Structure 1
Amino acid sequence: MLTALTTLHTLDEVADKVRRRSRLYIRWSLGPETDLRGTSSRDELTGVPLPGLSANSLDIEPWWQDRSVRIWVARRLYDYCHLPRHRGNGVRPWLLRGQESGRGPDNEPLVDHVEPLAWIAAAVIDEAVGVIEEQPGPWGPMERMGQARRPGGGTPGAR
């Protein structure tokens, strides 16, 4: 049984964690209690077991330089905010520290040696959406639903 996790309630709290630690990831799932019973994620398309949990890195890339950590974190959270709608009740984000063990089929990090750190409150995701919607460029979550491929390649309606 895992120790109860604290909950981060603001985007600034998450950004502060990112400023102070490396190898932080966000995982969207039912939580560490469920995830850590098994040893890996599975490729949804083929069912192949993966060598770690599928997660998204919060580490700031060098090209970001001294730009806002808050915007960086907001973007990382926003990119996958559609997952609770597509994966069902109880799916929510949680913060973890871990070690990359490979890359998944979508080039996402696969993480092992997982240390669960905190739940991310729904209010943080709402705050992240607000931050991203204030940015000057168009952006949307990395949602795949509705992007069916036609035989021979191409997306319906794409030109």
Structure 2
Amino acid sequence: MEKVGSLDELAALAVTRAPLYVRFSAGPDADAAEASRDHESGCELPGLSVNPLNPEPWFDRPPVQWVARQLVQYAHLDQDGRFAWVLTGRVAGRGPDCEPLLADVEPVAAVSGAVVREARDLYARAFDAGDDGT
């Protein structure tokens, strides 16, 4: 699995390859070793909980801002051996928070902690400040 070295590199990947998703976990091998479960109900999920990386057509800001936003939504999970990684696959359903559940997973790239920090910085400038982030 290749490693993404910058937020711009990840955004370029997100506009040239679809569908792409991001997941924070112990990685593809760990995820393949056990079934995903809904924490509240205990029900087995038909796929891995992911966040879409490809910008939506209605998003009229730079793609790098979309990608930063998607990373930041679950960046709190970047701890205890978990990291962000990019994957593709087949949407097999929706999770309890309406997130896509991905089956037939294909790992694409690992995202470094530096890229997640870069996403947090851009997110703070672009969204928390209420401006366009430029």
TM-score by length of 1: 0.77
In structure 1, which of residues 124, 130, 148 is the aligned counterpart of residue 121 of structure 2?
A: 130
Post-superposition Cα deviations, 1:123-158, rounded to whole Å, max 9, x if no partner, equal 0011001101112329xxxxxxxxxxxxxxxxxxxx
Output the CA distance in 1 between the equivalents of 2:23 and 2:86: 7
Paired residue for 2:102?
111
User: Counterparts in 2 of 1:33-72, with a 5 A limit?
Assistant: 33-38=29-34, 40-65=35-60, 67-72=61-66
Residue 121 (1) aligns with residue 115 (2): no
Between the two proteins, what is the percent identity of the paired residues? 43
Give 3-state SS (helix, strand or coil) of 2:108's partner. strand
* Unpaired runs of at least 5, structure 2: none
User: Counterparts in 2 of 1:1-159, with a 5 A limit?
Assistant: 5-38=1-34, 40-65=35-60, 67-85=61-79, 89-135=80-126, 136-137=129-130
Paired residue for 1:151?
none
Shift >6 Å, 4+ stretches:
none
After TM superposition, the structure 1 stretch with the greater mean CA deviation from structure 2, 103-112 or 40-49, is 40-49
For residue 37 of structure 1, report the CA deviation from its aligned partner: 2.3
Residue-pair matches, total: 129
Amino acid at match of 2:109: A
For residue 93 of structure 1, report the CA deviation from its aligned partner: 0.7
Amino acid at match of 2:38: D
Output the CA distance in 2 between the equivalents of 1:44 and 1:84: 18
Output the CA distance in 2 between the equivalents of 1:61 and 1:118: 21
Give 3-state SS (helix, strand or coil) of 2:75's partner. coil
Output the CA distance in 2 between the equivalents of 1:102 and 1:46: 16
For residue 48 of structure 1, report the CA deviation from its aligned partner: 0.6
For residue 44 of structure 1, report the CA deviation from its aligned partner: 0.8
TM-score by length of 2: 0.91
Q: Which has the larger radius of gyration?
A: 1
Paired residue for 1:157?
none
For residue 113 of structure 1, report the CA deviation from its aligned partner: 1.3
